[in-house]
Structure 1
């Protein structure tokens, strides 16, 4: 699992900072999370192939989280994309994008599928054989979701020496990896745990931006390996955070502590501060395992 931060600053883009967008690589899937202005430029800078992105998740319809989407779709068309593109986001995202495509007469030459979200409860919105994605209902000025990405439990690993010892034929290997016991020709039952090793523990990643401090998300993200949580303000602007329905660094750390996550990544910083190191310093007083997102930074999770 690898996370690449394409942008992690609040509000407007600047010459040296970008609004929210990140790419999560998990089980050879490439998920784009939010698509602020300039996302496609950041993808190029980070040498990420556009063709690998088949799913895009939009948290909410504030510009700094999706204004780059129409440009990215247009570039996909110019690059003669063939793969279908699946977009998950709040109700209204389809209308916004299709209006721009219609008025500019720029219909894509690939399938464009929208999955509009309205539920205020956590729901499963994407699933394949290796990964599933659920929403994390957040509290912001408009309807907003975070996203919980979870690996599925992998098949068991074959113990090659044990299989050779019991002289088990190759045609049974898949059944063994699926967890089944094996009956030898003489009727002896060989238990699966003698033939396999446990798979690696599934990893999980929770993306939470933008939101006011909200303990209701704690049961949903409890125990995740990595939590990205917005920290727009420092504690000195606590009242402003509440007014604008954002979170302070200390509040984000409190959520991480209550949810017993393994690691916290802070982001969505207000550009009023001279250095983002202040966010880590405050959060670390509550939750020790804190990392700072920054544009172009990658995390091997």
Structure 2
């Protein structure tokens, strides 16, 4: 299984330029590909990143400002034109379904696949998706309109068999492997208990990723993102524009770093940069005054979550 990874497709705010794309990213975790936000140009960036469209089964939209979903109808149309048949799940605030349905109604488009809309409205932490390997939660944020971040957490894996030690115990048969993987001790025919830790290795570390954009500085999210391996937090402005950040419901790089430090995350990625600051390294420099392990996101760059 590949290491979980995050590929940034776009990491700027509002108006696209020839170099800057609005928010969109692909998280690959435990064999699944999750699209998080879908600003204009997402399809082009997916092509450049060589990410297969048909691998995307789950789409998460944080809020209904255009720079976070204006690329979605185009992407859904492309799925249709490419002959997609498997359904796609869209997790988004209430209202997006109506927008999508209205577009396809008036363009007389009947999709060849189904869209399952999971409409979000809760202002509390809420589990919105789960399979055998991953759980996904909303993270209520503080913006001008209803907005959620998303927390992706791996589920614990089974323990790994230590075949070298297992082969030393003739009583252990293949049918016993399942219980060993589940952490159970083994009892020989003579009644001797062999502790599980002698026969297995610890499973891989559970990894987690948190996406927090768009939001003002919002301390309640700290408890939800404690110790995540990778945090993407918006930093639309530098601290010299703190008043503008407050008025528009955004954060500064300094504030994003404060959140990361208080939550004790492993690594911070900054994003949602305002185009008024062409040098994104300035965001990184400001954040490093508070939190050392930080990077300014770059389009088409992939970041790995390490075990």
Q: Give TM-score, length-normalised by structure 1.
A: 0.98
1:1-301 to 2 correspondences below 5 Å: 1-167=4-170, 168-301=172-305
Deviations, residues 170-220 of structure 1 (Å, cap 9, x unaligned): 122122111122222233222211111111110110000000110010000
Take 2:109 and 2:181, find their aligned partners in 1: how far apart are those partners? 48
Take 2:54 and 2:189, find their aligned partners in 1: how far apart are those partners? 50
Take 1:275 and 1:243, find their aligned partners in 2: how far apart are those partners? 23
1:128 offset after TM fit, Å? 0.7
1:243 offset after TM fit, Å? 0.4
Deviations, residues 25-65 of structure 1 (Å, cap 9, x unaligned): 01111000000011111101100001110000000000000
Unaligned runs of 5+ in 1: none
- When the two chains are superposed, the root-mean-square deviation of aligned CA atoms in Å is 0.9
SS in structure 1 opposite 2:231?
strand
SS in structure 1 opposite 2:102?
helix
Deviations, residues 208-233 of structure 1 (Å, cap 9, x unaligned): 00001100100000111111000000
1:111 offset after TM fit, Å? 1.6
Take 1:247 and 1:132, find their aligned partners in 2: how far apart are those partners? 27
1:14 offset after TM fit, Å? 0.8
SS in structure 1 opposite 2:38?
coil
1:294 offset after TM fit, Å? 1.2
Take 1:261 and 1:15, find their aligned partners in 2: how far apart are those partners? 33
Unaligned runs of 5+ in 2: none
Q: Give TM-score, length-normalised by structure 2.
A: 0.96
Take 1:291 and 1:172, find their aligned partners in 2: how far apart are those partners? 46
Deviations, residues 83-104 of structure 1 (Å, cap 9, x unaligned): 1100001011111111111111
Take 2:230 and 2:186, find their aligned partners in 1: how far apart are those partners? 38
Deviations, residues 57-80 of structure 1 (Å, cap 9, x unaligned): 000000000011111110001111
Count of matched residue positions in the alignment of Structure 1 and Structure 2: 301
